[in-house]
Structure 1
């Protein structure tokens, strides 16, 4: 069967825009074929930077908004108080005044809760709306701004301090519940509105530790909304100690009523774990990972029986999303996750979810973050988690189907990122020695399944898949066997791989430029010899790059104005031009030619009697996820080797069966 059968490109919608990969705009390549020597027009470059900044801010605002959750009144509560579906500005002002009148406080808090639970407008209210005191509003925006302007949160702080031993503790907890509800919905607003709620953090943290279940649930909800705002807020919440009581909520006794509280706690922990700068140590110190694994053990069977749209399925989804962030933390902590047999649960959920987005995306992302790890099994010899995961029944079949069927762009993109991490097998062995028999067989299977589809997604579809596909291709070809690189360039279904990589040297996304330059440099350094030329129709790597206007593209990159942190790109481009395209580049090509032995003709369909050498290249160029997305910390380009060494030094030696796998490994 052809690997490309069933690839339905028309079903995929790009979230990044309407431009396709073949357009000059998405590739950043001049359609006229003119020289790249001329510098970019200043106005055009400035406009491009502004547009990119706006897009980044929009994405950041969108991500923050999606991370926050507003709480609305139940339908029954709405039916009992229909008059609360609208309000006037002077009603809000009167309720805020009544907060200081003890006999009116309960009613005032209940009214504010109802008004703040109304749906907000998509755009902010005009400032003058708040001055029209007799107009009735059916959205929450005016009430929210009036509450902030008149210090509602500060006025409600005494309501959050409840002595559980007091005679009227039950009534006071009800009052604290409504007040916390108000703070929860205000924290779903803008950064300024969220900032106004931070004074309630100590009191909300106290409520997490005592009081009825519904009060602790609402306090967790409010803190979760605050944590979604930015890194400084997350750091402050972690500092005051909100993680341990949230973990206690995760361990509420098993009951239908407890599922909602566990969902809220898992979601709040997920928001707290966001950000590359957030350390995983506070979460693991509080045993959050153990509580999350316990939930997977207790509720997975129920979710499979009742469906992932059930309460149990929603809880599993929240836990998986939290694990996507924890699995991207420090390597030694990720080893602890693996030791808890987390991979067994992730593989099971991924293969059983039947494409349910709320399950397949987070389970696959957490898997992709963990599989580049290597364990000591037995002591003194590394064992690959890639091999162990790929040998689990149904995993590769499900991943391949998810990638090539093309039902959802989100699924395809996540599948490509996972394949990119799977291709790190052979790039990160501790000793740099040859792969085991099992590992070699897995690499062979991965190439047969995914190499051709990757070339298609890279050359024939939108820029949405450009970064993951380029990363996967680079990890695929970065091996000692040069035939893999040759066959990617010669892939008949997608003959434009090198052409597209050269075009990407002009992309605005620096991560993509790095990968494009790595690929072009690999072609020049490894294919500029007689053996490669014979396999490439008589054209060496130098000739191929020249034919695709690579000299102009490299010179253009050499002259780009880049931030100081990325100035090495310009220097690398300059060195490549000097080395391979100098005055006497033909003589230099002949002098540096490498006489390589003959290799297999097609690395995507290996002969049965011979499997390829998969010994890793000494310096992998792009292992792991992209820098602007979640990726394991050990895959960072500048710190990867040091972190892997520290991981093997600090972590306890464990075997694969101890981590939940029984896959046979060569000993």
Structure 2
């Protein structure tokens, strides 16, 4: 959870109210992390290219054109394969999708070709089904539902390309509604995906993990899907694939990381996945990423892997003792990631700061390690940034300062800390001002010499300026600090 520490509010007279508000904010944050739905659908790369080509040369389609293609397919003409190829291209267009599914028995004919004993016809029919499953209109994509028994059966086939397409169709359908997911569960989708995750083909494993993630992010995942995944023993394989050096590639690791994030955030299996080694694997991966960043060896899209791994680790450490990780190099790695992505991907930095807050709250060893690795200057450079960056930094500084005199004295060795706090107090961000006052109070309370240093850096003037802030809570806190520590310096 995120907090700046209970001792911050000492002397303000409304301790319990402030703590209650903080607990409510913590709960809301955890709920948001758990329930954020990242529903998406996916096409194979070559189908995306076909669609881009269609956009440039065929912006619209007529009912007659779709009907003629359907007739060529339906009557088994010699150019059926070419007709399927043309239909697949047309099904990139939403209007063509609706026209095709409105034709009598069209989906049953397509499924019939999908179950053909001609591999080339099967593959093209699968591409058409994939197009339909990718439709924005759920009424279109759901016409593929009768194909699910065949899709699951073909997952054990010999063609990796065909298996991959079947997996993406299943994943797209799983995103639609609860009834679809219930049907897939009854048909044994989890067990089928377990087999695909063991495939030697990276594209198949990636597609299987994608389909699994579509199931796991459903609202009913906690009650139905996560238990089925645990029963099928999928989590050890997912954890194993969190590896940059895996021959299956980074995209596979990304999909497996999202699966693990959804499993962990469900709250059902945290201890189970911890016992299977997820903490070690996630930390090892982040350290490797940090080193790659420091050496300039990172690859494009690595942030797609950082997101789910950091979220997964953050949720795990929010509810358990994280001190065994304190000396493993995780903090410098997160610091490198924050610095790397702040200019271009600030949301990555925000995720890492959230994890750092979870690691340091109430954890003296982690707070000490933060100072040991000299990471405070990195934090202070982030103070001017908005969008939640500054408030997370101030909260983290509060976690460290709450540990007492020894760590506060080490914070004071960074003379720019008071300048950073004053910068925060001058902003229009009410939450940043409140947190800056809390951190300042902790430091002043624990270190007598801090009052002199703060005054020497013109901090008193900044404090006086917000004594008459329109926000009553900020005004009360500023007046309290002036009265307690600088009464003799008031103008």
TM-score, normalisation: structure 1: 0.52
CA 1:529–1:484 in structure 2 vs 1: closer, same or farther (change >3 Å)? closer
Counterparts of 1:269 and 1:424 in 2: how far apart (Å)? 28
Query: In the alignment, is residue 495 of structure 1 matched against residue 419 of structure 2?
Result: yes
Counterparts of 1:516 and 1:489 in 2: how far apart (Å)? 23
Query: In the alignment, is residue 93 of structure 1 matched against residue 71 of structure 2?
Result: no
CA 1:404–1:218 in structure 2 vs 1: closer, same or farther (change >3 Å)? closer
Counterparts of 2:299 and 2:360 in 1: how far apart (Å)? 32
CA 1:196–1:406 in structure 2 vs 1: closer, same or farther (change >3 Å)? closer
Among 102, 105, 116, which residue is 2:88 paired with?
A: 116
Contact between 1:180 and 1:218, CA under 8 Å: does it hold in 2?
A: yes
Alignment of structure 1 residues 623-662 onto 2, 5 Å:
none
**Aligned counterpart, 2:190:** 243
Superposed CA offset, 1:623-654 (max 9, x none): xxxxxxxxxxxxxxxxxxxxxxxxxxxxxxxx
Q: How many residues align?
A: 428
Query: In the alignment, is residue 143 of structure 1 matched against residue 89 of structure 2?
Result: no
**Aligned counterpart, 2:29:** none
Query: In the alignment, is residue 103 of structure 1 matched against residue 76 of structure 2?
Result: yes
Query: In the alignment, is residue 283 of structure 1 matched against residue 229 of structure 2?
Result: yes
Query: In the alignment, is residue 401 of structure 1 matched against residue 336 of structure 2?
Result: yes
CA 1:346–1:445 in structure 2 vs 1: closer, same or farther (change >3 Å)? same
Counterparts of 2:233 and 2:336 in 1: how far apart (Å)? 36
Counterparts of 1:494 and 1:113 in 2: how far apart (Å)? 67
Contact between 2:191 and 2:232, CA under 8 Å: does it hold in 1?
A: yes
Query: In the alignment, is residue 386 of structure 1 matched against residue 325 of structure 2?
Result: yes
Alignment of structure 1 residues 549-628 onto 2, 5 Å:
551-552=469-470, 554=471, 573=473, 577=475, 579-580=476-477, 589-590=483-484
Instruction: Between the two structures, name the one with larger relative contact order (CA 8 Å, sep ≥ 6).
Output: 1
Residue 528 of structure 1 and its aligned partner are, at CA, apart by 8.3
Alignment of structure 1 residues 59-78 onto 2, 5 Å:
67-70=41-44, 72=46
Residue 265 of structure 1 and its aligned partner are, at CA, apart by 0.8
Superposed CA offset, 1:246-296 (max 9, x none): 2221123x3xxx322212111222333336774344433332212223445
Among 205, 208, 227, which residue is 1:262 paired with?
A: 205
CA 1:85–1:264 in structure 2 vs 1: closer, same or farther (change >3 Å)? farther
Alignment of structure 1 residues 54-453 onto 2, 5 Å:
67-70=41-44, 72=46, 89-97=63-71, 101-104=74-77, 111-117=83-89, 140-150=93-103, 154-156=107-109, 158-159=111-112, 162=115, 170-171=117-118, 175-190=121-136, 192=137, 194-201=138-145, 203-210=147-154, 212-214=157-159, 215-228=162-175, 241-252=188-199, 254=200, 258-274=201-217, 278-279=221-222, 280-295=226-241, 301=245, 303=247, 312-330=249-267, 333-350=269-286, 351=288, 353=292, 354-359=297-302, 361-363=304-306, 365-367=308-310, 369-370=312-313, 373=316, 384-387=323-326, 390-392=327-329, 395-405=330-340, 409-410=344-345, 413-428=347-362, 435=364, 439=366, 441-445=368-372, 448-449=374-375, 451-453=376-378
| Structure 1: gaps (5+ residues) | 1-59, 77-82, 121-139, 163-168, 304-310, 430-434, 507-512, 556-572, 595-667
CA 1:322–1:501 in structure 2 vs 1: closer, same or farther (change >3 Å)? farther
CA 1:273–1:358 in structure 2 vs 1: closer, same or farther (change >3 Å)? farther
Contact between 1:423 and 1:475, CA under 8 Å: does it hold in 2?
A: yes
Alignment of structure 1 residues 478-517 onto 2, 5 Å:
478=399, 479-481=402-404, 492=416, 495-500=419-424, 503-505=427-429, 513=431, 517=434
Residue 188 of structure 1 and its aligned partner are, at CA, apart by 2.6
CA 1:343–1:452 in structure 2 vs 1: closer, same or farther (change >3 Å)? same
Residue 537 of structure 1 and its aligned partner are, at CA, apart by 0.6
TM-score, normalisation: structure 2: 0.67
Contact between 2:206 and 2:252, CA under 8 Å: does it hold in 1?
A: yes
Counterparts of 2:70 and 2:177 in 1: how far apart (Å)? 29
Q: Which of 83-92 and 359-368 deviates more? A: 83-92
Counterparts of 2:437 and 2:106 in 1: how far apart (Å)? 58
Contact between 2:135 and 2:141, CA under 8 Å: does it hold in 1?
A: no
**Aligned counterpart, 1:456:** 381
Contact between 1:416 and 1:468, CA under 8 Å: does it hold in 2?
A: yes
Contact between 1:243 and 1:269, CA under 8 Å: does it hold in 2?
A: yes
Counterparts of 1:145 and 1:549 in 2: how far apart (Å)? 64
Counterparts of 1:499 and 1:276 in 2: how far apart (Å)? 42
| Structure 2: gaps (5+ residues) | 1-35, 51-56, 487-491
CA 1:374–1:323 in structure 2 vs 1: closer, same or farther (change >3 Å)? closer
CA 1:230–1:204 in structure 2 vs 1: closer, same or farther (change >3 Å)? closer
Q: Which of 224-233 and 267-276 deviates more? A: 224-233
Alignment of structure 1 residues 35-46 onto 2, 5 Å:
none
CA 1:96–1:405 in structure 2 vs 1: closer, same or farther (change >3 Å)? closer
Residue 501 of structure 1 and its aligned partner are, at CA, apart by 5.8
Contact between 1:489 and 1:497, CA under 8 Å: does it hold in 2?
A: no
Counterparts of 1:90 and 1:375 in 2: how far apart (Å)? 59
CA 1:290–1:302 in structure 2 vs 1: closer, same or farther (change >3 Å)? closer
Residue 474 of structure 1 and its aligned partner are, at CA, apart by 0.2
Contact between 2:181 and 2:215, CA under 8 Å: does it hold in 1?
A: yes
